[in-house]
Structure 1
Amino acid sequence: MTADAMEEGDIRRSVSVVSKAQADGLASAEDAEVLARLGYKQELRRNFTMIEVFGIAFSIMGLLPSIASTLTYSLPAGPVGLVWGWFVASLFIFFVGLAMADLGSAMPTSGGLYWWTHYFASPNTRNALSFLVGYSNTLGLVGGLCSIDYGFSLMLLSVVVIARDGEWEPSRGVIYAVFLGCVLCHGVLASTLSKVMGKLQTVFVAANFVLIAATVIALPIGRADQRNDAAFIFGKTANLTTWPTGWTFMLSWLSPIWTIGAFDSCVHISEEAANATKAVPYGILMSIGSCWIFGWIICIVIAACMSPDLSATLGSAYGQPMAQIYYDALGKRGAIAFMVLMFCVQFLMGLSIVVAASRQTWAFSRDGALPFSSFFRPISKTFGYIPLRAVWGCVGLGAVLGLLSLIDSAAASALFSLGVAGNNVAWGTPIFCRLWWGEHKFKPGPFYTGKFSQPIGWIAIAFMIFGTLLAMFPVEGPNPDVSSMNYTVVISVALWGGSLAYYYIDARKWFTGPKMTLDSDELSKDQQDAIIAEGLTIDGVKPPSSNSGRDEESAPAMVGKSAD
């Protein structure tokens, strides 16, 4: 064969993987090429614009409903815990977002967190750590779904309690029934609205801001003659726990830590995002930044308009401190109206997190790591190129985990902290692996924090370690009983220990990390060399000679046979 013929063949193959994605209407040539460098062919349709990637993270955060759901963490420290706890913790969360944005811009793929872990970790640790991160992230997202939908059920039922003047209290069975109905509705909507899901994120963001604006305007008007002064808002401390006052302030950080905890959804949606290398970091930082600023404003307004009797607010007969705050300012009808708006926005939060969780689940099953991966792996073209089975897998698991709410409030509150602890491990591990083992392999994308990247990463890791430990402390004090115990440590250790036990007992025999979904005959010689240089191995293609400049340490075995 002549050199010209060989070159022509290479050109034809080099565009095949990209042209197929274009022909199917799934992605642009640039996005398909970026994904191909990570070893994956385009299978999902890129329906999400840059603003819509921001939208899915911001809508999952559901700023005002999330603040309302977590007032039990912040109010025991008084207005100082509510206002300054939010501001300081959000600053550190922004550092975490910057570190993740660096990675998301460089390597945008739906399974990004465990993919990055495997790529940057050492040869002896990459498979185990990648396996741990994948499970921690998957179950952390499903735990987030449970906590959001559990919060929805409490908000919806609080409307009934207010309407009955506090003379009715829902049983745990009723709470779970509402929760289960909510989870199933999310499954149906996530399955049938896939073609417009990106557009809906803009609607969800608008709904969040409408609720925020209405609350920020209505509460000060309703409490015009009873507003608290600046000294109370910014300087009044309290301690409604048996912890030292300083530690009670630290526990107030759990409110922003739990609220601003869905920015990794931008990573999981990256294979459905147009111009992903820019959309992913934009979505991460804009969602965190928006929650930081607007959340601080909301906290200031709440501190200004709430009753100075914090114990009465926390022990409200309506089951929700925020319901009591609305009631005190706006009366019965106003409280009902705002709580209806609140649980509607909370419902939208749950729908968005089902989408994000299903993409992580699908990506992990694509790489063969989940039980029944071959079942969850297929993409449904009928429903709009979405992982339909993964959607219902998340819904089913969420329904099972939600059974914890039938035990008592302590077990139910563990659902909140499961998302915090599980996701902190999933977010922190790839950042640590990059800084400790793989900095020399990191190739920045369009977004990069430059010389500040490493110090930002270490600050982020330190904060996530602290946040994980914080999420495991009993909120009320150091001597908890059965009803006030924080069971997050039990659930988290079971999650991490179970994942590692599964890996070392069985999965180590077959899990070799992320798998390539591209066919070698779809790639040109240059593409093959570039992919191998990224650390991936291609069945049937010999790697470059030993003088290619990459040793075992810098070439992780991503697919096929191990490169070690």
Structure 2
Amino acid sequence: MFIGLALGELASAAPTSGGLYFWTYKYASPDWRNLLSWIVGYSNTMGNIAGVASIEWGCAVQLMAAVSIGSNLTFTPTTGQIFGVYAALLALNGIVSSTATRLIARLQGLYIVLNVLLCLSIIIALPASTPAEFKNTASYTFTGFVNLNGWSSGFAVVLSFLAPLWTIGGFDGPIHISEEASNASTAIPWSIVSAIGIASILGWAINVALAFTMGTDVDSIMASPIGQPMAALWDQRFMMGTSILTSCSRQTFAFSRDGGLPFSRYLYRISPRTQTPINCVWASVFVSLLLGLLAFAGPSAINAIFSLAVIGQYVAFSVPIASRFLGGIAWRSGPFSLGKMGYPVAIVAVLWMMFSIIIVMFPTTPSPTAQGMNYTVVVGGGWIVLCIIYYYFPVYGGVHWFKGPMANVELETESLSKVERVSVSLTGEKEFGEDSQE
């Protein structure tokens, strides 16, 4: 919630699809803003694409687990079969995310209703249908502790943060559709905060319902041949995939519009029919498909994309929040403002994200084998290293041509005494002529 509040203030002050990298450029020190904006743009893109890949992979795995249940466990999917379902889900979500904004908005409303109903069905139906012998006491539900992986109990609790960090992590989703939203300076920050609040309450209630009804034999649950006890939720995951792919494509569009990505001139084009960045949608699908190939390297490799989503986003969130206070640039708040509380909220948010980035890189067990290693640092670190190499690459690197968000629309506005030309960036800034008055 602290992260959402800090981002909400930025979104209210300057709502734009470029969001995170635009705010970094706007508020960071002039000496560092180009490089920091570049890193944030690539980190945000990485986090969003990894989010798409992890959600779709989770959906594919749970769907195949449901098929396994339906066959009385006579069917066990191969990695290739799961990858095929994963590719099909990516394609299906790509089609949905390529449609007109108005249709996507209507679908989002439907997704919200269905998600809430699915959550309530678990919270209500699961306890009602669970035999008495599997129901746990309140004492076990709220104070019971099981450590399965060999770490000290305290550190085991810390490592268990990965699931909620990944689950409630798409804070920038509303930000990337700012340019397609009405009253964005108010609607976007409130959508971030309310989504986090609702997800936290419903998620907590679901976990309480599960803890009350799961019995006490945690080992047998973890050792189930199905491998996915929550397979019944696969359809909820699909809805999440459509939402984050839409958000991811808008971030890719905004960054490519400013020339930040390879092949930007082809990516940022808007479809004249749907008025959506179709090329960015399918570019995101393609890179997500490539990330899915990690599955053939083993479970640990594919699991890295779940942590990669957290790391990419937290790097992209931390830098603009910190830049607002450390860059020395004047701050003008929007309608959504925390006032004097903005500074302590930002400190807590940034420290928490720095701590979380370290935690999600740890392996499940204290003495991992090559198969059990957490490869997030390799995949995520490799992405960051490559983006920095690309920035400083001789002649062709971003350091020679990337100047941050660019003004690319011109409007004529009438002042009290004259008509002045105003260059308005699609990312939200205005550049006035020397003799004009704002």
Report matched runs for 1:102-181 at 5 Å: 102-181=9-88
Structure 1's 127 and 155: CA in aligned 2 closer, same or farther, altered over 3 A? same
Counterpart in the other structure of 2:246: 355
Letter of the aligned partner of 2:404 in structure 1? G
Q: CA deviation at 1:159?
A: 1.2
CA distance in 2, matches of 1:441, 1:267: 22
Give yes or no for the alignment of 1:236 onto 2:127.
no
The root-mean-square deviation of aligned C-alpha atoms, in Å, is 2.2
Counterpart in the other structure of 2:323: 433
Q: CA deviation at 1:396?
A: 1.1
Contact 2:392 2:398 in 1 (8 A): yes
Q: 2:237 aligns with which of 319, 323, 346?
A: 346
CA distance in 1, matches of 2:184, 2:5: 16
For 1:374, what is the secondary structure of its paired residue? helix
Q: CA deviation at 1:537?
A: 7.7
Q: CA deviation at 1:543?
A: 8.0
Report matched runs for 1:8-87 at 5 Å: none
Counterpart in the other structure of 1:444: 333
Counterpart in the other structure of 1:410: 300
Give yes or no for the alignment of 1:466 onto 2:374.
no
**In the TM superposition, what whole-angstrom CA distance separates every residue of 1:52-91 from its partner, at most 9, and x where no partner exists?**
xxxxxxxxxxxxxxxxxxxxxxxxxxxxxxxxxxxxxxxx
Contact 1:146 1:401 in 2 (8 A): yes
For 1:518, what is the secondary structure of its paired residue? strand
Report matched runs for 1:79-98 at 5 Å: 94-98=1-5
Contact 2:123 2:206 in 1 (8 A): yes
CA distance in 1, matches of 2:226, 2:16: 44
Q: CA deviation at 1:522?
A: 5.8
Structure 1's 128 and 544: CA in aligned 2 closer, same or farther, altered over 3 A? farther
For 1:359, what is the secondary structure of its paired residue? helix
CA distance in 1, matches of 2:357, 2:150: 21
Counterpart in the other structure of 1:386: 276
Q: CA deviation at 1:167?
A: 2.9
Give yes or no for the alignment of 1:292 onto 2:183.
no
CA distance in 1, matches of 2:420, 2:280: 31
Percent identity, please.
Answer: 39
Counterpart in the other structure of 2:175: 267
Report matched runs for 1:524-535 at 5 Å: none
Structure 1's 173 and 130: CA in aligned 2 closer, same or farther, altered over 3 A? same
CA distance in 1, matches of 2:102, 2:272: 11
Contact 1:315 1:321 in 2 (8 A): no
**In the TM superposition, what whole-angstrom CA distance separates every residue of 1:364-404 from its partner, at most 9, and x where no partner exists?**
01111111111012111212x11111111111111111111
Letter of the aligned partner of 2:260 in structure 1? A
Q: CA deviation at 1:535?
A: 11
For 2:366, what is the secondary structure of its paired residue? coil
Q: CA deviation at 1:544?
A: 8.2
Structure 1's 528 and 447: CA in aligned 2 closer, same or farther, altered over 3 A? farther
Structure 1's 120 and 152: CA in aligned 2 closer, same or farther, altered over 3 A? same
Counterpart in the other structure of 1:494: 382
Contact 1:119 1:535 in 2 (8 A): no
Structure 1's 394 and 527: CA in aligned 2 closer, same or farther, altered over 3 A? farther
Contact 1:359 1:390 in 2 (8 A): yes
CA distance in 2, matches of 1:97, 1:527: 38
User: What TM-score do the two structures reach when normalised by structure 2?
Assistant: 0.94
CA distance in 1, matches of 2:271, 2:11: 26
**In the TM superposition, what whole-angstrom CA distance separates every residue of 1:96-153 from its partner, at most 9, and x where no partner exists?**
0000000011100000100000011111110000000001101110100000000111
Contact 1:367 1:515 in 2 (8 A): yes
Give yes or no for the alignment of 1:482 onto 2:370.
yes
CA distance in 1, matches of 2:294, 2:246: 23
Contact 2:68 2:74 in 1 (8 A): yes
Q: CA deviation at 1:168?
A: 2.5
The structure whose Rg is larger is: 1
Contact 1:529 1:543 in 2 (8 A): no
Contact 1:190 1:354 in 2 (8 A): yes
Q: CA deviation at 1:213?
A: 1.3
CA distance in 2, matches of 1:390, 1:542: 37
For 2:198, what is the secondary structure of its paired residue? helix
Contact 1:263 1:283 in 2 (8 A): no
Letter of the aligned partner of 2:79 in structure 1? R
Q: CA deviation at 1:307?
A: 2.3
Structure 1's 255 and 469: CA in aligned 2 closer, same or farther, altered over 3 A? same
Q: CA deviation at 1:237?
A: 1.2
For 1:441, what is the secondary structure of its paired residue? coil
Structure 1's 543 and 127: CA in aligned 2 closer, same or farther, altered over 3 A? farther
Aligned residues: 431
CA distance in 2, matches of 1:166, 1:451: 58
Q: CA deviation at 1:526?
A: 9.2
Letter of the aligned partner of 1:361 in structure 2? T
Letter of the aligned partner of 1:98 in structure 2? L
Q: 1:305 aligns with which of 197, 213, 220?
A: 213
Letter of the aligned partner of 1:453 in structure 2? G
Q: 2:224 aligns with which of 305, 316, 332?
A: 316
Contact 1:184 1:395 in 2 (8 A): yes
Structure 1's 318 and 474: CA in aligned 2 closer, same or farther, altered over 3 A? same
CA distance in 1, matches of 2:400, 2:164: 40
Letter of the aligned partner of 1:233 in structure 2? T
Q: CA deviation at 1:190?
A: 1.5
Contact 2:412 2:422 in 1 (8 A): no
